[in-house]
Amino acid sequence: MASFNAANLPGWLQTVVTYLSRGQPLYLVMYAVLILFFSFFYTSIVFNPEETAENLKKYGGVFPGIRPGKKSAQFIDYTLTRITVIGALYLTFVCLLPEFMFYKYNLSFSLGGTSILIVVSVTMDTVAQIQSHLVAQQYEGLLKKSKLRGARR
């Protein structure tokens, strides 16, 4: 971990460094605000509701009860905002949980928020792959049984 000697800094900068050091309330608030901000920022850059609505209109896709075009774009934007709020709050919770565990309860928690997200997503993907493999095996077994039954007739 990189560090520097705060004793050689001016008094006001020492105060700023103290308030922004890890585990301090201002640090946690800024960490949460930045997570929320970049969740919305990334979503706004990556996903364009108007373009998606145009593509839906071009290929004949519609939302039930919503007219194609501008109304569809508004619906997509509204829905995307609601989903982003839930996702951003979840990300904030997961990233702040290790901070609270470490500093509030003095638990040595070696995984950070990003590490927890990676571990959970890899675990969920592995479980999904195992389930699809098991379903494929059951399907193959059903096909073999049906072929055997067809051969007896």
> Tens of pLDDT along the chain (153 residues)?
445 666 677 888 888 888 888 878 899 999 999 999 999 999 999 999 999 999 999 998 888 999 988 999 999 999 999 999 999 999 999 888 888 887 777 776 667 777 878 888 899 999 999 999 888 888 777 677 666 665 555
Give the count of beta carbons closer than 10 Å to the beta carbon of residue 129: 10
Indicate the DSSP class of residue 122: H
Report the alpha-carbon distance of residue 25 to residue 139 in Å, rounded: 55
Report the alpha-carbon distance of residue 100 to residue 95 in Å, rounded: 10
Closest Cα to residue 16, out of 30, 31, 26?
A: 26
Coil/strand/helix, residue 63: strand
- Give phi and psi for 112, each to the nearest 5: -90, 180
Q: Write down the pTM of the prediction.
A: 0.67
